[in-house]
Amino acid sequence: MSFHSVQIAQLLHERSAAAGGEGTGKDRTELVADGTVNSVNSVNSLHASGDTCDVAYLLFLEPPQDPEPNMNALESCIDTAIRVFQPVPAMAHCEVLIPPVPHHESVRSQFATYIGKQSAWQTDKVDGYNYYLMANMGRWRAVPVFAHDLAQKLRRECDQEIGVAYSLSRYITSAKPMRFFAWALPDTRRSPGHCATLSARVLRRTIPEALSHSAAWYGPSSLYLELCDSTKEQAIRMGATGSPVPPSHTVSSIERLLRGQMTRENITALGDDNCLDATRALTLRVCSDLVEGDLSAQRISQKQLASALLRWVLLREDTRV
287: pLDDT strictly greater than 90: yes
Whether 290 and 112 have beta carbons less than 8 Å apart is answered as no
Q: DSSP letters of 207-246?
A: STTS-SS-GGG--HHHHHHHHHHHHHHHHHHTT--S-PPP
Q: Which of 165, 202, 174 is nearest to 78 (CA)?
A: 174
CA distance 160 to 302: 29
Helix %, strand %, coil % for the chain, to 5? 50, 10, 40
Residue 109 is given by DSSP the state S
Q: pLDDT tens across 293-315, in order? A: 899 999 999 999 999 999 999 99
Q: pLDDT tens across 50-64, in order? A: 446 789 999 999 998
Whether 129 and 314 have beta carbons less than 8 Å apart is answered as yes
Query: Which CB contacts under 8 angstroms, 24+ apart, belong to 64-67?
Result: 64/139
160: pLDDT strictly greater than 80: yes
- What distance lies between CA 250 and its chain's CA centroid? 21
Q: pLDDT tens across 197-216, in order? A: 999 999 999 999 889 999 99
Q: pLDDT tens across 85-134, in order? A: 788 999 999 999 999 988 888 899 999 999 889 999 999 999 999 999 99
Query: What is the reported pLDDT for 319?
Result: 62
What is the percent of the chain with per-residue pLDDT over 90, rounded to a whole number?
A: 58
Whether 237 and 35 have beta carbons less than 8 Å apart is answered as yes
Within 13 Å and on the Cβ side, how many CA atoms surround 28?
Answer: 23
* Full set of structural domains in the chain with CATH: 55-237 (3.90.1720)
285: pLDDT strictly greater than 60: yes
43: pLDDT strictly greater than 50: no
- What distance lies between CA 173 and its chain's CA centroid? 24
Q: DSSP letters of 278-289?
A: HHHHHHHHHHHH
CA distance 34 to 38: 11
Query: What is the reported pLDDT for 282?
Result: 95
Query: What is the reported pLDDT for 135?
Result: 94
Query: What is the reported pLDDT for 65?
Result: 78
